[in-house]
Structure 1
Amino acid sequence: MIALKSLLVALSTISGALAATAEPELAVRQGPSTPTGSGNHEGFYYYFWNDGSGSVNYANEDGGQYSVQWKDSNSFTAGKGYENPGLRNITYSGSYTPGPRDHLTIYGHTQIRNPIVEFYIIEDYKYLLGNVGPKQGSVTTDGGTYDIYTSSYQSGIPEGANLQVYSVRREKRVGGTVNLANHWDAWNSLGLRIEYPRYAIVAVEGWSSSAGSATIKVE
């Protein structure tokens, strides 16, 4: 009879050998990805864009839920939320396994005007965008403190120069309620004069990202 200790050692050796030879694989959702673009799905607004690199699989699921998996993507944005939301509260939950250069954010654009403002309320991140400017201030809301940054960028839209504004949460989280009105008040107190959002989604963004996944539900 083989001693129990010897059996455990043998099983451990076999397990270690299998782990050493197995290639780590990203669990990719079965079935086709939702095409890039934007629209409405079961009462929610969604937005999905990627630059065509690597593999990004985005799926609209029931109600306000979506899932996204990615591997070796240079740049993508995917999420679900609201069109013309006003300054409402946005409540979300879910799971998020980021790569080294990804973030989870409330994201959107303001109404068409010069300048158009691209806004981020970043809830969790591995990498903060490299083009954020110096810190402009902070706001305490939603159970935490957010540092505020701004930067400008040039895009191909007719309005030309644009503004980006960021609220970056110090106490990272995946799930909670974001009060848009409090962030707007804080941004405008800096003299930014930011219009209401055209859309606001709970999004995942990746930049030169090796691999990751998320399942997010917007209430």
Structure 2
Amino acid sequence: MLSFLTLLVAATAVYAAPTNGTTDVLDIRSGTPSGTGTSNGYYYSWWTDGAGDATYTNGAAGQYSLTWSGGNGNLVGGKGWNPGTSSRVINYSGTYQPNGNSYLSVYGWTRNSLIEYYVVESYGSYNPSSAASLKGSVTCNGASYDILSTWRTNAPSIDGTATFQQFWSVRNPKKAPGGSISGTVDTACHFNAWANLGLNLGSEHNYQIVATEGYFSSGSSTITVS
């Protein structure tokens, strides 16, 4: 597997807007990832729907860079581990400069049950808390997070089109975007809080990355994960 990945995509796509409060606005995903594999000892995942201009680059160790423009499409990329775990303490640092709708989060999946999850550290113009059901809150690493969940029906997943739950912890207030950013995410703190609210992850972890996601927006992100 190549340790350096650069993809430049320019295409068009059709956007179907969310129709109710239980649908994540960053939800238009289809097809297979544009690239996954290992880079300098870390797992990476990079996906774009091809509707905007985007360049993803794997750097040394746990670093990656992403720039996107054009105000179109959905994309997500980042570095971390595969499989993930229920007890990893994840550190991240770098710069995050979104213009519009974007997330910076610990992002992953489990199987048995199939769950997609986010621990959102920062975001651009759209707060994901507005599109999911609030279940409670938790304090982790000195910060408060809202805990939310929602269902996805017949949606793209790591196992193809499926129906599954999303679990969310959204930092409140968010870390300010627009420049330097750093932090620590203790996954056990979030996962235990979710379980206490009846939100149980699956028994088999798939990938677990620090991801930058953009949706009909533009921006740049250079993040180092450890």
Q: Which residue of 2 aligns with 1:181?
A: 188
Q: Which residue of 2 aligns with 1:140?
A: 139
Q: Which residue of 1 aligns with 2:20?
A: none
Matching of residue 94 in structure 1 with residue 94 in structure 2:
yes
SS in 1 for 2:127: coil
The number of residues matched between the two structures is 186
SS in 2 for 1:188: helix
Taking only aligned residues, the RMSD between alpha carbons, in angstroms, comes to: 2.0
Could you tell me how far apart the structure 2 residues matched to 1:159 and 1:100 are?
28
Q: Taking structure 1 as reference, are residues 159 and 190 closer, same or farther at Cα in structure 2, changes over 3 Å only?
A: farther
Identity %: 38
Cα-to-partner distance string for 1:156-210 (whole Å, 9 max, x where unaligned): 546831000110001322311100001010111111221353121111111111x
One-letter code of the match for 2:131?
V
Report if the CA contact (8 A) 1:105-1:204 is conserved: yes
Rg larger in structure: 1
Q: Which residue of 1 aligns with 2:122?
A: 124
TM-score of the pair, normalised by structure 1: 0.79
Q: Which residue of 1 aligns with 2:208?
A: 200
One-letter code of the match for 1:178?
V
One-letter code of the match for 2:163?
A
- The structure carrying a bigger strand percent of its residues is 2
SS in 2 for 1:98: strand
Could you tell me how far apart the structure 2 residues matched to 1:130 and 1:185 are?
20
TM-score of the pair, normalised by structure 2: 0.77
Q: Which residue of 1 aligns with 2:107?
A: 107
Report if the CA contact (8 A) 1:107-1:201 is conserved: yes
One-letter code of the match for 1:190?
L
Q: Deviation of residue 89 (structure 1)?
A: 0.2
